[in-house]
Each structure stands twice: as structure tokens, then as C-alpha cells.
Amino acid sequence: TNIYLVTTFEELECYRCYLDGIEYILKTSEM
């Protein structure tokens, strides 16, 4: 179970970076 939790946490971090990248691209395209 611990391995699953760690993997999920890492995936969430990666997903958050992915969303931040999209948000950055949208802000840049507006300018």
C-alpha cells in the first residue's frame, strides 16, 4: 500500500506541474 501511495503522490505532483504549464501557456498566449 505504501508503494501505491508514493506513486499516487508523485503522479499528483506531476499532474500539478502539467496544469501549471497549461496555465502559463494560456497566460502567455493572452499577451
The per-residue pLDDT for range 1-27, each reduced to its tens digit, is: 566 766 788 888 888 889 999 999 999
What pLDDT is recorded for position 30? 82
Rg of the chain over Cα atoms, rounded to whole angstroms, equals 14
Q: Is the dihedral of CA 7, 19, 22, 28 positive or negative?
A: negative
The rounded distance, in Å, linking the Cα atoms of 24 and 31 is 11
The rounded distance, in Å, linking the Cα atoms of 13 and 11 is 5
Return the higher-pLDDT residue of 7 and 30. Answer: 30
Sorted by where each begins, the domain ranges of the chain are: 1-30
The rounded distance, in Å, linking the Cα atoms of 2 and 11 is 14
